[in-house]
Structure formats: C-alpha cells, structure tokens
Structure 1
C-alpha cells in the first residue's frame, strides 16, 4: 500500500468514526469538497502530516460545530 492509499484509508476511517458526510468533513478541515473526495479516492494530498494532525485536533471537532455539520448546516 502506498502513502496515498494509506492516507485515503485513514481519512475514510476518520470520517466514518466522526459520522460526517464528505461535505461536512471537508468543511471541518477547511478544504474544498472535491479535494477531500480526491484524498478519499487515493489521489493524495500535498500536506498529509498536517491533514492527519487536523483530523486528531479536538479543537477542530468542538461539539457545537459537530452538531451543526451533522445536521447539514
């Protein structure tokens, strides 16, 4: 498995764990939805270390923001 495939797997697992749609996950991470979808499809991302750090950030996943995104707002 190459790095892009590993990143795709990690991103998919994170999104499933958090219960986000692709659109909500992209919004939380501050990247375009198409970029997020490309990452999930294994096309890679120029800053994988930063992306992984963002996915682990508790500040990024504050409860009010999570609730808004899960409702689709």
Structure 2
C-alpha cells in the first residue's frame, strides 16, 4: 500500500467515525470539497502530515465536545 492509498483510508475512516459529510469535512479542514474528495479517492495530497494533524486536532475537539455534553445530562 502506497502513501496515497494509506492517506485515503485514514481520511475515510476519520470522516466515517466523526459522521461528517464530505462537504462538512472539507469545510472543517479548510480545503475545497473537490480536493477532499480527491484525497478520499486516492489522488493524494502534498501536505499529508498537515492533513493528519488537522484531523487529529478536530477529532480531539469533537471528543471534548461530546464529553462536555454528556456531563451536562
């Protein structure tokens, strides 16, 4: 498996776990929807490390929001 395929799988898993649409995920990451779709399709992305960091930061933020929400209930 090459780097672009690995990135595509990571991005797909991140989006599925978070429950985002492609449009919402792209907006959250600050990239065009077509670019995001290309990444998921394995066309690659020149800044894969930055993309992984952004996904991790957003995943942590989402978990924090969910934890705060559950504490209020």
TM-score (structure 2 length as normaliser):
0.80
Q: Which runs of 5+ in 1 are unaligned?
A: 64-73
What runs of 5+ residues in structure 2 fail to find an aligned partner?
Answer: 66-73
After superposing on structure 2, the runs of 4+ consecutive aligned residues of structure 1 that deviate more than 3 Å are none
For residues 1-42 of structure 1, the C-alpha deviation after alignment (integer angstroms, 9 at most, x for no partner) is 100000000000000000000000000000000000000000
Q: Which has the larger radius of gyration?
A: 2
Distance 2:51 2:31 in 1: 10
The number of residue pairs the alignment matches comes to: 62
SS in 2 for 1:8: helix
